[in-house]
Amino acid sequence: MLELLEPAVLVAVAAVFTAGAVSGLVGFGFALVCVPLLLLVYDPATVIPVNVALSVFTTMNVAYDGRRDVEIKSIGLLLPFALLGIVLGVEVLRATDPDYIRVAVGVVVVVSALLLFRGVRLPGSRSRWGDGVIGGMSGLLATSVGISGPPVILLLVSRGMPKRAFRANIALYFVFTSLASLVALYLGGLIEPGHLLFAAALTPAAFIGKVAGTALMRRFSERAFRNLTLALILATGAGAAISAVLSLV
């Protein structure tokens, strides 16, 4: 039974509300906000399954909101390559120090985001081979360093996708990847009944945050929405690179 006035629980509620608001606004970013804050008060063995369970719930809600703007073809082409990348990523993880990969990925993400800020379009962003490369990279990074989102997000931004379509499609993509992660955690014996109960108790905060973020999204212009998306990706890449460098040092 959760004691609602415990400091750790209050931090968890605030973290999940904020993460839900960010996800409701741009369609991604739940883990980016939620995980660092939850790790201040809970151990990783609790944070990871709780975050994944809440991510499934939140992204499903966002994707459902934007179901009329979903382009199944654009997401469907990414998923087979992502699954292949997930398998390859396991082998990469066994053979390579993930911190080196995280540094490289962080640098590439930061440079790509800065180029997109300047209006430069990523090569192959509208081609089928681009879908294959990006989908495979996303899956590979998911299992090798735990960062699957940036390649797909940068691809959709580079295509100039309107904010409503971007939000719906990226949320749907993360529905599939979050569900896959949840299944993997379960099969690995890393999910306990207490984790699911904790996630269920935090679900109202995530939902209220998502509703607030959705309402805020309507006030953002296309340009402001794009800039916010790139800023979040820039923060993700920089954070990954810095944390990896610190680990190596």
DSSP state of 2: -
pLDDT, averaged per 10 consecutive residues of the chain (249 residues), comes to 67 93 90 82 84 91 92 82 81 73 79 80 74 85 72 85 91 86 81 91 96 92 89 83 80
Whole-structure pTM value: 0.79
Amino acid 204: pLDDT: 96
For 185, left (φ over 0), alpha (ψ -120 to 50), or beta? alpha
Contact 106, 244 (CB under 8 A): yes
The contacts of residue 150 (CB under 8 Å, 6+ apart) are 105, 109, 112, 141, 233, 236, 237
Name the token pair of 42: 């809970």
Amino acid 1: pLDDT: 41
Distance CA 11, CA 19 (A): 12
Instruction: Indicate the domain borders of the chain.
Output: 7-248
Among residues 53, 29, 80, which one has the least CA distance to residue 186?
A: 53
Amino acid 4: pLDDT: 52
